[in-house]
Structure 1
Amino acid sequence: MNDQPSILASDLPLELLPLDIGPYRRGNTGIDYCHRFDSGKPGPDVVIVSLTHGNEFCGAHALCELLEQDVRPLRGSLTLIFNNVAAYQRFDPQRPYASRCVDEDGNRAWLPERLKHPSSEEARRSAKIAPLLLDADFVLDLHSTSHPVAPMLIYPELPDCTALAATLDFPFPQLLYKLGSYHPGMLISYAMQHGRRGCHGLVAECGAHFALESAQQAHAITRRLLCRFRLQEQDAIVPPWGYEPDHTAGHYRIREVIEAQSEHFRFVRAYRGFERIERGAVFAHDPDPLVAPFDNCILIMPARIPLCGAEAVTLAEFIG
């Protein structure tokens, strides 16, 4: 990992800090920090994952709440996973971005060959928890973002996923991607491609990494999904969204991921995400100009500090 302080330090206040998850190490699955609760009644097997990236605390807060309140499914089963605990436990408030991972991005290691012969901390952890995902009917992966932008859902552009998302009344942006081509090593993609037939999943980006609102957002989407799958009572109290709803947010189709090809990659201005760039307009230099290649081009999750060989920004098309 690059050890420059400017990269590892945070330019946002650290409102949300890691919780002590030590009490949840011993689960009932034989895998540390993984808990499975079976109702004994027919129903979907729902898996909720937090800490795929070690410095994205919102999901851990949501899972701790479920465990503290002894939430149990009314039907089917509920599996709760604290994923990259090794990175999470390395958190240093002076270098909060250093605990994103140990060796590599934990949401790019989910490839069968990588899991068969794991060579990194993230791949070894993924190989351990993979069996829990392969039995799932639905997987929710809770994340947060570097920049303070609106929460978003990310999911494959498939009928089951789009139908599910439509039932959630999610008042924030929704990003659709082609399964198998966009980041092939994603956790939810692995579950859908190699797990139980009919499995589908969502990534919930719940807001900025260290914002209190991101934890509230993670609570809200988690509880709504439990109600949607009828794992808890339909009239159960569901917390409000962590952010002000925007019912005009719309849908976006992911078209291209831009990687920095040199150490000279620079955006033309400070982007946070969801800026619309006209076709042909320059949005970065690397060192040659990079231009928006299509109409309704939206910048998604631009890197705080672009690094050579790493993802700098995703280009998506606004589709309404």
Structure 2
Amino acid sequence: MNTSPFLSAAGARLEQPALDLLPLDISAYRHGNTGVDYCHRFESGRSGPDVTIIGLTHGNEFCGAHALCELLEQDTRPLRGSLTLIFNNVAAYQRFDPQRPYASRCVDEDGNRVWQTPRLKHPDTEESRRAARLRPLLLETDLVLDLHSTSNPVAPMLIYPELPDCSALVATLGFPFPQLLYKLGDYHPGMLISYAMQHGRKGCHGLVAECGGHFALESAQQAHAITRRVLYRAGLLEQDALIPPWGYEPDHSAGHYRIRNVIEARTEQFRFSQPYRGFERIARGEVYAQDEGPLRAPFDNCTLIMPARIPLCGAEAVTLAEYLG
């Protein structure tokens, strides 16, 4: 493997990551039973929630594919309701090149920003066309879990709307890692789970699980763990079902956070003031980056969430969240 360093947009030398988690061959799962490639639906024949698990919304986030393959290989079937398993951006996934491990995130654009009605009515990119095909499945679900991973090796996290029903669901999971709350409709228009909640069945719940670093074995274990816990708490698994341990140990970043601002890089000169990885907490007024001028923390308990590994002009550079405790 080529381990030669390369330069980030900030001029820092970035090492080629260790590729401990690699893509699986999922070609056997292309033809499901939904009429949409790489989508499988299993009915129990008993009343209960319709739960959807999604992996590969971003093509280089392999943990979700590993979790879905485990469920399929083990012939997991719902005790009640139904279970839908979706491999999302397979086109990007199939382009993975170990020499350019971050390049297969998408084909044309971020697949987790295209879920808006005008885009789905007139899709014009690989990701929007895929979303348009998946849309009918998302409108038939009561609970959707979207499995992701992060560019930087930080703690796993759950991201969900700040709504009583979502909070009540998460409270049953015993999740000992950071939880990020957002206002439905304000944070990232075009998010998959937000679309399902706003346009799908009444009372639909949505969770994004960020399961750790893209290429870490632990992220696959984390994806297995959160998936089976969600299915168990939804009543789709037997009471004595095997629930695997978490992939990580909790750390100082555990707690609740409220997402406040998404910061985009306005110029090619955007630079973080330090090599942040995520969950650094900074004081109000502290400079965390330079762009058209100094960028300062706008509120107390300001926490940097998923800072871009390589900030690009016009793209999201970092999310600012308030640590709630």
TM range (shorter): over 0.9
**Quick check: 1:293 aligned with 2:298?**
yes
The corresponding residue for 2:211 is 206
1:205 is paired with a residue whose SS is: strand
The corresponding residue for 2:54 is 49
Q: Which amino acid aligns with 2:21?
A: L
The corresponding residue for 1:111 is 116
Q: How many residues align?
A: 316
1:99 is paired with a residue whose SS is: coil
Task: Decide which of 205, 213, 224 is 1:219's aligned counterpart.
Answer: 224
Query: Matched residues in 2 for 1:248 and 1:211: separation?
Result: 19
Query: Matched residues in 2 for 1:197 and 1:135: separation?
Result: 10
2:66 is paired with a residue whose SS is: helix
The corresponding residue for 1:138 is 143
Sequence identity percentage: 79
Cα deviation, residue 287, structure 1: 3.6
The corresponding residue for 1:271 is 276
Cα deviation, residue 11, structure 1: 3.2
Cα deviation, residue 236, structure 1: 1.0
8 A contact 2:284–2:301 mirrored in 1: yes
Query: Matched residues in 1 for 2:94 and 2:83: separation?
Result: 25
The corresponding residue for 2:27 is 22
Task: Decide which of 223, 229, 242 is 2:247's aligned counterpart.
Answer: 242
Cα deviation, residue 235, structure 1: 1.8
What TM-score results when the alignment is normalised by the length of structure 1? 0.97
- Quick one: structure 1 residues 20 and 10, their matched pair in 2 at CA, closer, same or farther if it must change by over 3 Å? farther
**Quick check: 1:316 aligned with 2:321?**
yes
1:254 is paired with a residue whose SS is: strand
Q: Which amino acid aligns with 1:223?
A: R
The corresponding residue for 1:95 is 100
- Runs of 4+ aligned residues of structure 1 deviating over 6 Å after TM superposition are 7-10
Cα deviation, residue 237, structure 1: 1.2
**Quick check: 1:120 aligned with 2:122?**
no
The corresponding residue for 1:71 is 76
The corresponding residue for 1:178 is 183
Query: Matched residues in 2 for 1:247 and 1:283: separation?
Result: 20
Query: Matched residues in 2 for 1:160 and 1:310: separation?
Result: 32
8 A contact 2:155–2:250 mirrored in 1: no
Query: Matched residues in 1 for 2:154 and 2:148: separation?
Result: 13
For structure 2, the 5+ residue unaligned runs are 1-5
Query: Matched residues in 2 for 1:273 and 1:99: separation?
Result: 22
For structure 1, the 5+ residue unaligned runs are none
**Quick check: 1:159 aligned with 2:169?**
no
Which whole-Å deviations, capped at 9, do the CAs of 1:129-158 have from their partners, x for residues lacking one? 111010100000000000000000000000
Cα deviation, residue 245, structure 1: 2.8
8 A contact 2:63–2:148 mirrored in 1: yes
Query: Matched residues in 2 for 1:127 and 1:248: separation?
Result: 36
Task: Decide which of 249, 252, 259 is 2:264's aligned counterpart.
Answer: 259
Query: Matched residues in 2 for 1:127 and 1:10: separation?
Result: 37
Query: Matched residues in 2 for 1:237 and 1:79: separation?
Result: 20
Query: Matched residues in 2 for 1:295 and 1:247: separation?
Result: 18
1:262 is paired with a residue whose SS is: coil
Q: Which amino acid aligns with 1:105?
A: D
RMSD: 1.3
**Quick check: 1:189 aligned with 2:180?**
no
Matches within 5 A, 1:4-43: 6=7, 11-43=16-48
**Quick check: 1:280 aligned with 2:285?**
yes
8 A contact 1:172–1:247 mirrored in 2: no
Query: Matched residues in 2 for 1:235 and 1:202: separation?
Result: 24
Task: Decide which of 305, 309, 314 is 2:310's aligned counterpart.
Answer: 305
Cα deviation, residue 6, structure 1: 4.7
Q: Which amino acid aligns with 2:225?
A: A
Query: Matched residues in 2 for 1:295 and 1:95: separation?
Result: 38
Q: Which amino acid aligns with 2:175?
A: F
Query: Matched residues in 2 for 1:10 and 1:126: separation?
Result: 34
